[in-house]
Amino acid sequence: MSSAVQSKKVRPKPYLQPEYCKGCGRCIAACPVHAIEKTGEVNPDTGYIPVSVNLELCTACGMCIESCPEPYGLHPDDVRYHWELQEPEGPTASQAAGRPAPKEVPAVRIPLPPTEPLMIKGTYASAIGALLAGCRHFFGYPITPSTEGAELMAKVLPHLGGAFMQAVSEVATVNHIYGCGGAGKPCMTFTSSPGFSLMLEGISYMIGAEVPGVFVNIMRGGPGLGNIAPEQSDIKLACRGLGHGNTHAITLAPADPQEMLDLTMLAFELSFKYRQPVMVFGDGYLGQMTGKVCLPDHMVQPGIPDWAVYGDAEHRGNLIASIQLSEKDLEEFNIYLNARYQEMVENEQRSDLFRCEDVEVLLVAANTPARMAKGAIRTLREKGIKAGLFRPITFWPFPIKSLLPLVSKVRRIVVVEASPGHLEDEMRLALSHAGVEKLPEIRNVQRYGGILPQSEEIAEAILGMEVMA
């Protein structure tokens, strides 16, 4: 073909697919005749603000097509694509010009008949709790000692119309949960300490975007890869380091397989109540421990929250994001978050007491170490020491309200934990915030590296403290 013929070829004007435009504005900057501008309206199918092209001004220079990073954003109009956006059920975006307001489809409690108790391990109990709470979406990356929970979900979910996805990493996992939770769907992961560390950035995003999701962390020995034996290595992470920014999340601390089920179910309820991720922290022993588990008297059929970014007519116009570029808006959002945190502190503290009616020596322990502490209390009582147990069931918020009446009664507190003082630090901080000036003596029994404090050594250590006193 001669160059003369080539020069007569009509250059195409750009063709815009608003559904694929992310509104990045590169084409606006590239256009020499200012033929492109932002529409200023959120596209209900994507949540983005696309541009529009004034083809009358357009000189068909092609610069915008070159500048567009989206393969289907802008392209020459003589190119025929054979793809279409799948329209979700319900009216299309244009049909929905008079779209109904987002509405709440409430969750439904479905009564269950009584059944025989099961003998199952903690991770299975937690998975069953999630299923009964209506969770049908699981994302995760296998990591010992949490893997059996994921394994059970992989077997069961396809038969319940659900989805199990083994993510490429823990970073991917938390972002899958972000997306699924943003659609208003109850979803979860099982992980263990090194994996949980990797999820923290995403958890901060979820808190910033007000997205629910449940994280079951079966804690193991650290730091680093550590080992696969039980530790309470992540209490500090949950209470003082849950991702960047102003982050807190309810963190539940089961102590037996029954509580693994009950508290996992509760985690889903709280997660949707507060639009926040919720943590369930067991230790590696608890994850593997087999015990008697009674099923609850109901299960939950999830609804669709009014805020969900869901593909039906009522919800498709919703938008979820964790970005607030205006300093003023972000400060207001933080004030709003603080109020919500305060509501959780007021309403969600949970704890359990054992032999505290006449307590003088108060053991404080959670997860499996609390079971060991109970054994030690029986030994100590046989030797005439009035010992009792205060067991936090929430690491955050720390259950200070039920600890305070005991603090003035006891002469000694002994914190028993499989960590280098994470629980003791939380307790001391809560006592300090509560303004307690006169503290009893505070001592501890700590083991690390995957070794749990045993009943005998706890009793011996406390007997030693009593002799020294």
Q: Which residues bind ligand SF4 (CB under 6 A)?
A: 13-14, 16, 21-27, 30-31, 33, 35-36, 50-51, 53, 58-64, 67-68, 70, 73-74
Beta carbons within 10 angstroms of residue 458's beta carbon: 26
The least distance separating ligand SF4 from the CB of residue 51, rounded to whole angstroms, comes to: 4
Q: Indicate the residue among 30 and 154 with the shorter CB distance to ligand SF4.
A: 30
Instruction: Give the DSSP per-residue string, 322-333.
Output: ----SHHHHHHH
Q: Indicate the residue among 35 and 177 with the shorter CB distance to ligand SF4.
A: 35
The least distance separating ligand SF4 from the CB of residue 317, rounded to whole angstroms, comes to: 20
* Bridge pairing between strands 361-364 and 412-417: parallel
The least distance separating ligand SF4 from the CB of residue 15, rounded to whole angstroms, comes to: 10
The least distance separating ligand SF4 from the CB of residue 32, rounded to whole angstroms, comes to: 6
The pair of structure tokens assigned to 163 is 């989805």
Q: Which whole-number Å values give the CA distances from 360 to 188, 341, 407, 436, in the listed order?
A: 41, 33, 10, 18
Instruction: Give the DSSP per-residue string, 215-242.
Output: EEEEEBS-STT--SSB--TTHHHHHH-S
Query: Is residue 246 within 8 Å of residue 322, measured between CB atoms?
Result: no
Beta carbons within 10 angstroms of residue 350's beta carbon: 16
Q: Which whole-number Å values give the CA distances from 451 to 18, 232, 237, 362, 460, in the listed order?
A: 58, 10, 20, 22, 17
Q: Indicate the residue among 71 and 106 with the shorter CB distance to ligand SF4.
A: 71
Q: Indicate the residue among 24 and 171 with the shorter CB distance to ligand SF4.
A: 24
Question: How does 283-312 read in b/e, with b if 16+ C-beta sit within 10 Å?
Answer: bbbbbbbebebebbeebbebebbebbbbeb
The least distance separating ligand SF4 from the CB of residue 75, rounded to whole angstroms, comes to: 10
Q: Indicate the residue among 16 and 416 with the shorter CB distance to ligand SF4.
A: 16
The least distance separating ligand SF4 from the CB of residue 61, rounded to whole angstroms, comes to: 4
Q: Indicate the residue among 39 and 301 with the shorter CB distance to ligand SF4.
A: 39
The least distance separating ligand SF4 from the CB of residue 11, rounded to whole angstroms, comes to: 8
Q: Indicate the residue among 66 and 331 with the shorter CB distance to ligand SF4.
A: 66
Selection from 26, 29, 126, 21 nearest residue 72 by Cα: 21
